[in-house]
């Protein structure tokens, strides 16, 4: 398919203020040069350990956080240069599904009010049309429309996430960032919500950026997967290629930690144990920022940032010595 979202050199640096004059003394380089692209109609999984910048990347793509540098294009339109009024209009095309269905729905409003708010803001029809649309949306996500006057706290976590999804889809966006949409839910209902997201993708022609820290969750839902480390995408490939033949040493280490169900294969597998912790995003290492923990590092790795390049057909890696 054609590219819907294209991200180049995206940076989000948060200033740290300090000293008597409360000046900027340093910055947290939460996102430090992300490149990726998302094809129309696909699900791109974005994985990495907590603090690697994946949620911030999702929000910066949606312009919910202002990028410090770089380019974000949605359907060919450069979002980072749009004035706030036009960003607001673009909200109808791109939406966020939150991680926490408990914190993200305002307890003072009924679910009908919550789902209808974007429709009213964008004046999508008269009050009767909006009421009908809200009932339709609730039904679509598996919530009985007769509950429209109930409050969010009257619903379970899984139901609340469905209500949040109905709200996110109200304006019929083409692009949705789902930020760990099932990680706050009971394991027993995670699969139901994942199935719902997949059904809705087919029904509404959605393109997803699916953020997760768990490689096994994204494996089943993603067409392609991007792996993040310390503010950058280090590998991007079709799910099968990434899981079966990862090219970047960090991805290889992450995958070696995921147990294989077959005990025979499991007993013969080699674990890659990474030395040290993830470095601070305040003072990230030079060059390839994975170099202090990489068993393949050479002098060039400390000096030059490896660009994310297509090393094999449709398989991108940011490494001087991939494979
Ligand atoms: Fe390791 Fe060098 Fe590749 Fe970085 S660029 S992952 S340090 S081999
Ligand atoms: Mg997060």
Report which bound ligand comes closest to the CA of 249: 1
Residue of higher predicted confidence among 25 and 275? 25
Q: How sure is the predictor about 311, in pLDDT bands with cuts at 50, 70 and 90?
A: very high
CB-based pocket (< 6 A), ligand 1: 248-249, 288, 290-291, 294, 296-297, 301, 306, 319-321
Report which bound ligand comes closest to the CA of 247: 1
Task: Indicate whether this model's pTM tops 0.90.
Answer: yes
Q: At what angle do helices 111-121 and 157-169 cross, to 10 degrees?
A: 20
Q: Please tell me the residue having the least CA distance from ligand 1 atom 6.
A: 319
Q: Which residues surround ligand 2, an ion (CB under 5 A)?
A: 55
Q: Edge-to-edge strand order for the sheet containing 69-74?
A: 23-39, 3-18, 69-74, 77-78
- The residue length of the chain stands at 323
Pocket of ligand 1, candidates 227, 247, 274, 296: which has the most ligand atoms within 8 Å of its Cβ, to mutate?
296
pLDDT digits over 59-69, tens only?
A: 999 999 999 99
**Distance (Å, whole) CA 171 – CA 130:** 11
Pocket of ligand 1, candidates 299, 320, 322, 323: which has the most ligand atoms within 8 Å of its Cβ, to mutate?
320
Report which bound ligand comes closest to the CA of 304: 1
What's the N-to-C CA distance of the chain in angstroms? Answer: 27
249 Cα nearest atom in ligand 1:
6
Q: What is the pLDDT of residue 271?
A: 83
For the chain, give the mean pLDDT.
Answer: 94
Q: What is the pLDDT of residue 69?
A: 98
Minimum mean pLDDT range among 98-102, 142-146, 179-183, 242-246: 98-102
Pocket of ligand 1, candidates 233, 248, 249, 308: which has the most ligand atoms within 8 Å of its Cβ, to mutate?
249
Question: Could you give the 3-state DSSP secondary structure of residue 110?
Answer: strand
**Distance (Å, whole) CA 60 – CA 58:** 6
Question: Could you give the 3-state DSSP secondary structure of residue 50?
Answer: coil
CB 80 within 8 A of CB 72: yes
Rounded percentage of the chain residues whose pLDDT exceeds 70: 99
Burial category of 306 from C-beta neighbours within 10 Å (exposed 0-12, middle 13-18, buried 19 and up): buried
Nearest to 294 by CA among 317, 267, 266: 317
pLDDT digits over 76-119, tens only?
A: 999 999 999 999 999 999 999 998 877 889 989 999 999 999 99
Tokens standing for 174?
């083409």
């Amino acid at each position: 398919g054609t590219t819907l979202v294209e991200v180049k050199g995206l940076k989000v640096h948060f200033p740290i203020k300090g000293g008597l004059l409360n000046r900027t003394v340093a910055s947290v380089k939460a996102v430090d040069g992300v490149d990726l692209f998302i094809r129309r109609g696909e699900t791109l999984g974005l994985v990495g350990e907590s603090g690697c910048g994946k949620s911030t990347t999702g929000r910066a793509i949606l312009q919910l956080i202002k990028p410090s540098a770089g380019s974000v294009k949605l359907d060919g339109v450069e979002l980072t240069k749009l004035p706030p009024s036009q960003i607001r209009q673009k909200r109808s095309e791109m939406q966020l599904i939150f991680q926490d269905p408990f914190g993200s729905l305002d307890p003072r409003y009924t679910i009908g009010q919550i789902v209808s708010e974007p429709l009213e803001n964008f004046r999508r029809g008269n009050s009767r049309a909006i009421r009908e649309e809200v009932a339709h949306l609730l039904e679509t996500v598996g919530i009985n429309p007769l509950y429209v006057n109930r409050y969010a706290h009257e619903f379970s976590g899984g139901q609340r996430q469905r209500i949040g999804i109905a709200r996110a889809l109200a304006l019929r966006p083409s692009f949705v960032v789902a930020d760990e949409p099932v990680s706050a839910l009971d394991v027993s209902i995670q699969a139901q919500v994942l199935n719902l997201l997949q059904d809705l993708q087919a029904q509404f022609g959605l393109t997803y950026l699916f953020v997760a820290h768990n490689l096994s969750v994204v494996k089943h839902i993603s067409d392609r997967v991007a792996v993040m480390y310390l503010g950058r995408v280090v590998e991007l490939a079709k799910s099968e290629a990434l899981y079966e033949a990862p090219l970047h040493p960090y991805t290889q280490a992450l995958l070696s930690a995921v147990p294989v169900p077959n005990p025979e294969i499991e007993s013969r597998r080699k674990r890659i144990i990474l030395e040290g912790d993830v470095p601070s995003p305040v003072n990230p290492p030079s060059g390839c920022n994975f170099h202090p923990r990489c068993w393949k590092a050479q002098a060039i790795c400390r000096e030059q940032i490896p660009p994310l390049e297509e090393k094999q057909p449709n398989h991108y890696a940011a490494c001087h010595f991939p494979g």
